Every structure is written in structure tokens, then in C-alpha cells.
Structure 1
Amino acid sequence: MNSKERVMSALNGAQPDRRPYTPCIDNYTRSGLPEPYRSMDIINVQKAFGADMVRGPWCYKEQYDSTIRIEEKRVNGSIITRYLTPVGTLQKTETFTKESPNIPFPAEHLIKTAEDLETFNYLTEHTSCVPDYKELEDALKKNSNIVVATGIMSTAFEDMLAHHSGVEKFVYLYYDHTALIEETMAILKQKREREAAITAQGPAEVIICYENTNTANSSPEWIKQFEIPMLNDYARIMHDHGKKLLVHMCGHINMVVDQIAAALFDGIVDVAPPPTGDCDLPAAVRTLGAQGKVLTGGIECTMFAHLKPDALVSEVRSLVSSIPDTRCFFLGSGDAVPQGTSVENLNAIKALIEKPF
């Protein structure tokens, strides 16, 4: 089997010739690699280190209508963005660091008050998303023997909780202004589902939702009430177009594994054991596998960064021996392979996965 056949066979319930390998090697990983990898296209970096499924371009872009004005300025390493609308102004501040050159830290969230929710609703309703398949189509043509997955944003619930308001403010707003924040999530959900529909109509066979489900910043009850139903709606959209939906869950999920197993999506990716996550991997694979789902991940990211190659290989052998199921468990990284991971470590796992063990 080639890489694409291997991954798609497993996702369709058949036995692959060997365990698929699907690490999350992204721009964060690449920023810590030496040349020639640092200058390579990110898909080629993933392929160079043996990935059977790579993360490719997304296939939609946002557009604001003429009533929205955006101002952006850089101050001391931070980006301050202001959204000016006829009903109010929103501002957020994001800070990039040397250690995280691609994903910024939120220094100021967009939503701080109930009035901001009203402004955010206007902003969402006056933002459209348009298809842009060209880059993804080119990537698929160049890489016909490998799965090139595309992505979609997290659900409206997770987006509000983690990105737009932050956990503390979300909790206060939810209990002080329940109807308003639920209206905001409903409006944002409609936008997210339009993005999902555009993606489902595109050329990728596998879509990854970058959800970051995590009981460390949410609760099992909220995940049951809001997040799983929204993910199920994503899954229905994808399945209506014959696509597979995988959900990125690198955080604490042990308390909600049964909820995940009962959901409609096809599996979860980049799953992490402690300390990044809390997943009991063998138990989770059994629970998800009983429902036909796959789980990918398992190699704790600190191991990638800090162990010597022989020690890393030993840990991975131990992990794989505890989960013999080669259809439901794809070996991969627990969250993104971190900046600072050596070429030697990446090549050691590539060599290991390519031969029976």
C-alpha cells in the first residue's frame, strides 16, 4: 500500500498493511529545524519525515463587507487589531515569541463585555467566506500517493471559550448574559457551518477540525451540551459529501472519551498522554475502536524534543506494544511536534515505522 491507501483503508474500516504514521509537523516544528528543512515547503517537510497523512492548505478565505474597517499596528512585538463597525469597535492584542513564531499568545481578547457581544454579532453577520481551492488542488496533484488533509476552524463554543473571550470572561458572560452569549454562539455557528460546507465541497478527502477539546478549560457538561452537538453537525456536513472528519484533541479528554466515542465524526488526532494531555491511550483506543473510530497521536511532545534517538525509539516501541490495533491507532505526535526536535529523532521514528515491529 502507498500512504494514501494505508490511511484511507483504515478510515474506511479495513486493515492497513502497517500502522499509519500521522505526526503533526507544522510551521512551528519547521522553525526549529536546520536547512534544508527550514526552507522547504511544509508538505515536503512532513513527507521527508515519513508522514502518511500531511496537513495541507485550507480552502476558504474570509471577506468583510464595506461596513467593516480593520486597523492593525505592531507595538513591541505585539499585533493590535481593531475592528470598527457601525455598532461599536472591538480590539484584540496578540503577541508572538521566538518560541512560538506562528501561533500568537492572546494578550487581550476581542470580547470583554456584553456590549462587545452585540458588536461581535454584527461583525460575524457581515463577514462572508468564499471558496479558494487552487492551492489545495495543486498540493493534491503533486502528492497523489499521500493523504493531503485540509482544515476547518473549531466550533463556535470552543472559539468563544478559548479565542474570542477567554475562559474566565466566557464563564461570567455565560451566567450573567446567558441568552446573549448563546445567541452569539448560534450566529457564529452558522458562519462556521458555511465554512465547513465550502470545505466539504472541495477536493480533500479528509478534513481536520482544530478543536482542542479540553476538560482543563471547560467542563464535561458544557462539552456535552455545546461542543459535541456542534462537532456532530460538522460531521453531517462532511459525510453528506463523502468526506472524513477528524478532530484535533491534544488536551485533557479522559473524562469525555465515552462522549467522543458516541459522536458522529470519524476519529480524533494528535492525542496526547501526560503531561500535555491526560489520555489513557490503550483504553481510549479500545473505546473509540469499538465505535469504528480512529485515534492518532501518542508520542508525547516533550519526548520528541528532549530524548535521544535510542531512548525515543524505546518509548515508542513500548507505546505501540501496549496498543496492538493497527487499524484504530495511528502513531503520531501528541499535539504538534515541538520546535527544537532534532532531525535525528524525526528520522529515527520514520525508520521505525517503515518496518514491522
Structure 2
Amino acid sequence: MKLSILVLITALAVGLSIGLVNFHFQQSWYFMLVSFGISFATSFILFYYLLEKFIYSKIKLIYKLIHNLKLGKDLKDALGEYVSSDPINDVEHEVKEWAGAKKNEIELLKKQEQFRREFLSNVSHEFKTPLFAIQGYIETLKDCLIDDPETAVRFLQKAENNVERLSYLINDLDSISKLETGEIPINYEKFDIVLLTKEVMESMEDKAKKRGIKLFFKDKYMHPAFVRADREKIRQVLINLISNSMKYSKENGSTSLKIFELHDQFLIEVTDDGIGIDEKHLPRLFERFYRIDSHRSREVGGTGLGLAIVKHILEAHEQIISVRSTLQIGTTFAFTLEKGG
């Protein structure tokens, strides 16, 4: 419809121009109207043919291609062949929208590429550190195995510690990979999260005492709270979050656990009064091997995968985890679990 209007306006302009030029030279209204009519009809037919044949049909084809690409084959077949009443404007809209989507895809790919490079670099570094240490200890053992047995035993112990670190690292990477691909099933069961939390805190009391950290669970949160989840995987979540809080707590600090009842969920919070986390680090906190302070992280140990595992376990449960923190005041990790009914 709009093509006809465009051609009509163009033909009128050409016909009127030729008619006025003819009137200027002939000074006759008759010849002006004849020339106007002939030129208008000729122009209309010519322009309509040219626009329809070489321009408009190509635009319609481009529009259909973009439209079909956006819909996808299955959805396109379900909707049937789509014909636009105004393909010129629609092409402009579709191209802008398509270009915006492609720009976002490119930016996402760049971020993923950057993440891949960082991940490979971190994996390489995490593996090289204990491997080089083990290599050094073994070379030393060769020299002192007979002459200095005590030193040999000490270096054997150090080598064993680094082998354990490698083992933990490999197991954690394997766990994340299986959680991502769904190879590790979620065994749902109904259990009391309060009771599980007590068990975890009791099992970690000795470790907390060595660091001078108090673990406590306020009395008002001690009533039963039944959830539907994988008990052992949630145990791992609690252990990782409490361990993480103890690593970054202040001397003689504390870690507290709280449970809040929501509409159809329970909210579990693990809070410490430690050094806190700068806001700029929060969005990347659950990335694999992401460390806020690499030097401190290596001093307190760990594979750098604990929070990534926590996130994957909770996502496998279709639940969420969040973090809030203030420097020199403390950090709170909060996650949800479905009520057990």
C-alpha cells in the first residue's frame, strides 16, 4: 500500500514538472494537461515496476530472511509464512533489533573468552604451585635420604601435603564439571535444616577454636525447619560457607548462622565479623579460582573453588545465593531452600 503512495507522489512530481515546463514554452493549458497525463502515467508505471522489481522485492526478501532467522525454524513453521504489510519500516526495525542482539552476543563472547583465558591461567597456576613444590621436595630427598633421615621425613610430609592439595583441586574441579552437566543427581529428601546446621557447626568447632573463632546459632532459630533438598550437598554448602567465613574472620572473631522463614522457602544466612569484601569484587565472587587477596588465600589454604561449588549446588536445586559485605565490618552469605511441607 505504501509503495503505491510513494510511486504516486513521485509520478505526480514528475508529471507536474513536465507539464509546467511544457506550459512555459507552449502557453497552452491543453498541451500542459496532455503532457502531464502522459508523463504521470508513464512515470507511475515505470517507477512502480522498477521499485517493485529491483528494490521492494529485495527488501521483502531481506525482511523475510531476518524475520525467519529471529523466529527460528520451529517457531516459523508453527506460525506459518509471515507477510508484513510494511516491510520497509519493519526491515529498519528488525535490522536495528538484530544488530543490537548481535552486539550483545559479541560482548558476551568477549567476556566468555576473557573468562576462559583467566580460568586456564588460574588452573595452570594452581596445578604448577604444588607440582613444583613436590618436585623440589623429591630432589632434596635424593640428597638427604641416607645422610639425614629426619629431614627426609619432613620433606616427605611436605610432599604429601601438596599431593593432598592436588587431590582436593582435582576433586573440586570434577565436582563442578559434573554439577554443570547434571551428572551428579540431586537426591531430594525432607530433613530439618536446623539439625543439619547444628551437626555441621559441631564438626567444625575444633577448627574454629584453633583460629580463635566462635560459632553460634541464636536460640530463636533453633525450632525445626524442614526443607526439601539433597541433605549431603547442603551439608557441603554449609561447610564451604562456614570455612570461607573463618578464613577471612578477624582474630577472636565470630561466625553466626540464622534461619528465616519465608512464604514457601527458608532463608539461611552465614555471617562473619571479618575483614569484609570490597563491593567491586562481589559480582565475581562465585567464579572459579577468583581470589580477592591471592596472598592471604594461599596462607589460609583452599582450592579457590568452594564458592563456585556452593553456587552450582544451589543452582542445581533451583535456588539462589547472594552476598552482602562491608569492609572491616563483615560479610553475609544468604541462600534459600524450598520448604519441606
Bucket of the pairwise TM-score, normalised by the shorter protein: under 0.3
TM-score (norm 1): 0.20
RCO (CA 8 Å, sep 6+): is it higher in 1 or 2?
1
TM-score (norm 2): 0.21
The structure carrying a bigger helix percent of its residues is 2
The structure carrying a bigger strand percent of its residues is 1
